[in-house]
Structure 1
Amino acid sequence: MERETLKKAMMECFKDGEFQSILKEIVAEAMAVKDAEIADLRDQLKKANTHINELEQYSRRLCVNVSGVPETPNESTDQIIMDLGKMAGVTVTPADLDRTHRIGKGTGGSPRIIIARFTNFSKRQEFYNSRRELRKPRPVRGSVVSTESAGKTFISDNLTRDNQHTMYVARCLKKEGKLHSAWTDVGRMKIRLREGGPTKIIRSLEELREAADPDYRPDADPGEPSDADREGFRPAQGRNRKSARK
């Protein structure tokens, strides 16, 4: 009997407007605390992910991607890099190379990207900074790469997956006129919103959108970079693997 009486009393309380108001306030306060905790945890996670991405990108600072070089049976990717260096006016020796290999499985279509990890940063930069020289490559006797192929070669930073996607979105924004240019500098992502404007370093996709267009969402792949916008856009696919020297 006492149980039924208590149940009836509680039901009456729930019908009371003042009680409902107090209950709503208590629930709202509890939800606000939880929402704040969730927001704080999300912010911590975002910062942690950004930090991890930056560390991973830094670990790739000795690497470059080389695309557009035709594949041949039993090729030496080390020799390809050394010959491309000669064609660009840079001496690259076996001692300068830690690892080189193609990325991914061959499909019989476009040649796979070559990733090259150098043993020292200065040589990596010398090779990377000479990439424009390959537009008019020097002929090299006995080279495993023809001057025609070298002229179509593109050298770029080796980017993390997150940074690849951010630069893909940057390419979309550039094509739609929402920013003037975007490029990477040893993995650091940079943009310029207008011609002659200041250079802004961005650390994430969120920062790119905040700078260019907070509501932007790409709805189509803009395709491969043209000769006019080749700096910093070609995506790097995959992570470092063992050398494919032969």
Structure 2
Amino acid sequence: MYTPARAKDDRKRKGSTSPFQIQTDPLLATGAKSYNLKKSKLQQSTITAFMTEDTDRNTSYEDYLEATMSKAELSQASPATTTPLSSSPIPDEAFTSTLNAVTMELTKAFGKPEVQNAIRPMITLILREQIDKFITSLRKEIHDLKYELSSVTLQLNGMLNERCDDLEQYGRRNCIRISGIAETPNEIVENKVIDVLKQVIPDIAPSDIQNSHRVGKPIMGNPQKIIVRLSNYKTKVSIMRGKKVVNSAEDNIYINEDLTRYRAHIFKHTRKSFKSNLINGCWTRDGKIFIRERKPDGTDGLITRITSTVQIPGYKPSPEELLNFNLSQNTHSEPESTAV
């Protein structure tokens, strides 16, 4: 390897030690072959400083270069003497021209097919790793957004269904259902309804009934139920308060509130729980379903409003019912336990 020390020995052997006989181009070629780019840049600036410095020229360029590079290495090894980037001197013309030349050479080198073929696999690998990281983070973000959107959608659907059910139930606030009235050919349903309701309100009149008709499919041995729309809400409340007179009779006629399909399903299972002695009572009031809990000793417990089959003792809810109930709990403003 041809080094500045070796060049110094060659010049001494030839009897030439004058620094002015040093040619710039051979030194640049020697520096490019022997040192990395950083040291080569330092050598360029050193040449310029050596040629312009006002000295007695008793020092050779090699000694000047070695002293300068030793100072640079010492300054790099000591963090306390490192020159801040903001205070670094502006490169002179020689350094700028050298930098431009190096840039041009690199541009030419990268334009060669063999260089491109050499660096293409490395660049491809780096790009692929970065793209994979980006795609992975993007997929996770999309997955999280989908999950959040699904949860919000389910919650909104639950809230919408609950509001619609409330509105539908409010539209039935003046209605009652009577079951167990026998069917006869060419019957007048209103007359049969009045005969049953007179057991509760003796002075009830046909004007108190706005409409009445049978609903549902006929089942063998069970007559269709009758929906009765009363003229005012007060009459309906009076009937519901005194319905025990009819419900306790031996003719199997029962009076209940007209519930929506969803609430009727819940009330059906509360009655099953009552028959299984899991609760001590169940009833409805203004479309709301209540149960009286049963303590371990069989005595009466708290009165609780039921808004889902999940709350019914002994009922095994489906995963969908559990999910809908958990979502509705986040938005339901009414307390679970209510004194009636």
Conserved? CA contact 1:90–1:126, under 8 Å:
no
Query: What value does the CA root-mean-square deviation take over the aligned residues?
Result: 3.1
Change (3 A) 1:28 1:152: same
**Aligned match of 2:301:** 197
String of CA shifts for 1:114-157, please: whole Å, max 9, x gaps.
111100111112222222222576xxxxxxxxxx6xx3211111
The question of 1:79 aligning with 2:191 is answered yes
One-letter amino acid matched to 1:197: G
Indicate how the Cα distance of structure 1 residues 24 and 214 shifts in structure 2: closer, same or farther if over 3 A, else same. Answer: farther
Over 3 Å counting, the alpha-carbon distance change for 1:105 and 1:200 in structure 2 is closer
Measured after TM superposition, the shift of residue 33 of structure 1 is 1.6
Aligned mates of 1:105, 1:180 — CA distance in 2 = 32
1:94 aligns with 2:194: no
Secondary structure, counterpart of 1:123 in structure 2: helix
1:213–1:40: structure 2 CA closer, same or farther, 3 Å change rule?
Answer: farther
Using a 3 Å threshold, how does the CA distance of structure 1 residues 100 and 216 change in structure 2: closer, same or farther? same
The 1-side partners of 2:244 and 2:314 are apart by 31
1:19 is displaced (CA, Å) by 5.4
| Higher CA-based Rg | 2
Paired residues in the alignment total 196
Identity in percent: 24
SS of alignment partner, residue 300 of structure 2: coil
| AA at the equivalent of 1:39 | S
Q: Deviations over 1:163-182 (max 9, x none)?
A: 11112232344455554433
Task: Give the TM-score normalised by the residue count of structure 1.
Answer: 0.67
Q: Per the alignment, do residues 11 and 41 of structure 1 end up closer, same or farther by CA in structure 2, a change over 3 Å counting?
A: farther
Q: Deviation at 1:84?
A: 1.2
Q: SS of 1:192's equivalent?
A: strand
SS of 1:49's equivalent in the other structure is helix
Gaps of 5+ in 1: 138-147, 218-246
Alpha-carbon distance change, 210 to 83 in structure 1, aligned in 2, over 3 angstroms: closer
Structure 2 unpaired stretches of 5+: 1-116, 319-340
Runs (4+) of structure 1 moved beyond 6 Å?
8-11
Match in the other structure for 2:310: 209
What does residue 228 of structure 2 align with? 116
- 2:174 aligned with 1:62, yes or no? yes
For residues 45-86 of structure 1, what are the alpha-carbon distances to aligned partners after superposition, in whole Å with 9 as ceiling and x for unaligned? 100100100110111111111111111112111111211122
Distance in 2 of aligned mates of 1:19 and 1:210: 50
Change (3 A) 1:124 1:166: same
State the distance in 2 between where 1:156 and 1:79 align.
19
- Cα distance, 1:73–1:210 mapped onto 2, change above 3 Å: closer
Among 143, 152, 157, the residue aligned to 2:257: 157
Name the CA distance, whole Å, in 2 between partners of 1:129 and 1:68. Answer: 19
Contact 2:247 2:255 in 1 (8 A): no
Amino acid at match of 2:293: L
1:129 matched residue in structure 2: 241
